[in-house]
Structure 1
Amino acid sequence: MRYELYYWPGIQGRGEFIRLALEEAGAEYIDVAHQPEHHGMGMPAMMALLENSDLACPPFAPPFLKAGDQVIGQTANILLFLGSRHGLAPQEEAARLWVHQLQLTIADLVSEVHDTHHPIAASLYYEEQKDEALRRAADFTGMRLPRFLGYFEAVLERNPHGDRWLAGDALTYADLSMFQVIAGLRYAFPRTMKRFTSDYPRLAALHDRVAARKHIKAYLASKRREPFNNDGIFRHYKELDAG
């Protein structure tokens, strides 16, 4: 099956978690918003599907994935769908739900990262809420981020199959997502993350392990991988990185 991924062009955002899963699986997919409009793709195609009133299960917002006639929204939900179909999640129900739970916790972390630079409203520019962002980022780097990283470090440590992966004895989409989170945090908060390096060695090793995988390594070196920038979720503002 050839998938169609719908997400905003020019940023990694939440769409990147899905791209990583598709790339690791070697799945055939089209990144619709990046394709030429004269081929029926691009932003007009994404908005047309998003605004299609005939869809029985319409997505709220990008990212969403088209698989045949099925349109699936929400990052964690898309990964749940892809995971069981491409060997990126366990087959046993309890283990599959555990991976999904980890992904939902990652989603909570990603939302808190976003709120460090947009704590008041997404419709306002960063400069319009800078004072509030400074307070929010200080709480995030000082209190919330260590709690999240400590939790995932402990998940790795307690895995009865060893500390290579978050769940079980094989890579899952949660590992791919954690790689993206660590990479994004290193971009957004380099001083803070440098200080944390020795505190979370298993997470650092997980990041490197995922980055070295054949398909992921090729993807990271390709033009398909959007660079981090200050339009996405992970943004670097020096004043927010207390270190």
Structure 2
Amino acid sequence: MHYQLYYWTGLQGRGEFVRLALEDAGARYTDVARVDGDAALQPFLEGRCDGARPFAPPFLRADDLVIAQVANILHFLGPRLDLVPGGEAARLQALQLQLTIADLVTEVHDSHHPIASADYYEDQRDAAKQRAADLRQHRLPKFLGYFEQVVARGGGHALGAHSYVDLSLFQLVRGLDYAYPEAMAALSPRLPGLRALEARVAERPNIAAYLASTRRLPFNTSGIFRHYPELDGAITADTGESS
């Protein structure tokens, strides 16, 4: 199988969660927009191609299938790339965890664009400071604490063995380190399992080669994980959680 990944050029974004799975498995794939430009996505987004019409990238083409949404793509790829343990229960648990990662990714995005995605960050800076403070103080401890418990129960892995969820947790931690270095430095002593998992994933041969290559774009202020120093800060002892 030769896969075609469609995502915007110039940033990692949500497409990176899919790239990491393809790279780790050594799968044959083309990052289409990086070859043909962002215009290559438009026929799909406008419903002018065969297959289910995606709402937004990333989406994956596999033969006649067009599959959108990160968790859905990874749910499809997991058994085909040997990146999920066998059995329906394990596949559903992987999907559940990936959807929870997606929830946090959305909150991270909304921390720098709390009012409108179409408006510039500079036009909503004050609201972003409030939203980012809540993310640092309450939401990151809640989500990352949950994932820490998951990894502990899994013996160092999200699912008891290497999976696409491990790769996504690696990307999540690396992204948060870039966006919120001060907050993550404060949280890291509470996250030994996630930090160990991050280190192991980075040392996997295919991932290490990918991270050292030009295919791995650097984090920047056009993606989901954006570093604005005014949004970062310390976490106090009071980490009350909201639902």
Is the 2:112–2:121 Cα contact (8 Å) retained in structure 1?
yes
- 1:56 CA drift (Å): 4.6
Show the counterpart of 1:242: 233
Is the 2:97–2:165 Cα contact (8 Å) retained in structure 1?
yes
Q: 1:210 aligns with which of 201, 204, 222?
A: 201
Q: 2:75 aligns with which of 74, 77, 80?
A: 80
Q: What's the secondary structure of 1:58's corresponding residue?
A: coil
Q: Which structure 1 residue ranges, 5 or more long, are not aligned?
A: 36-40
- 1:57 CA drift (Å): 1.6
1:224-239 aligned at under 5 Å gives the runs 224-239=215-230
Q: How many residues align?
A: 234
Q: Which structure 2 residue ranges, 5 or more long, are not aligned?
A: 235-243
Sequence identity percentage: 59
- 1:10 CA drift (Å): 0.3
Cα displacement string for residues 22-45 of structure 1 (whole angstroms, at most 9, x for unaligned residues): 00010000001110xxxxx32222
RMSD of aligned residue pairs (Cα, Å): 0.9
1:124-139 aligned at under 5 Å gives the runs 124-139=119-134
Is the 2:43–2:49 Cα contact (8 Å) retained in structure 1?
no
Q: Distance in 1 between matches of 2:84 and 2:216?
A: 23
The alignment's TM-score, normalised by the length of structure 1, stands at 0.94
Q: Distance in 1 between matches of 2:47 and 2:111?
A: 33
- 1:182 CA drift (Å): 0.2
1:149-168 aligned at under 5 Å gives the runs 149-159=144-154, 162=155, 164-168=156-160
Cα displacement string for residues 184-230 of structure 1 (whole angstroms, at most 9, x for unaligned residues): 00000001111112111100101001000000000000000010000
Q: Distance in 1 between matches of 2:44 and 2:215?
A: 23
Show the counterpart of 1:6: 6
Show the counterpart of 1:38: none
The alignment's TM-score, normalised by the length of structure 2, stands at 0.94
Show the counterpart of 1:193: 184
Q: Residue type matched to 2:142 in 1? A: R
Whether 1:71 aligns to 2:66 is yes
- 1:54 CA drift (Å): 5.2
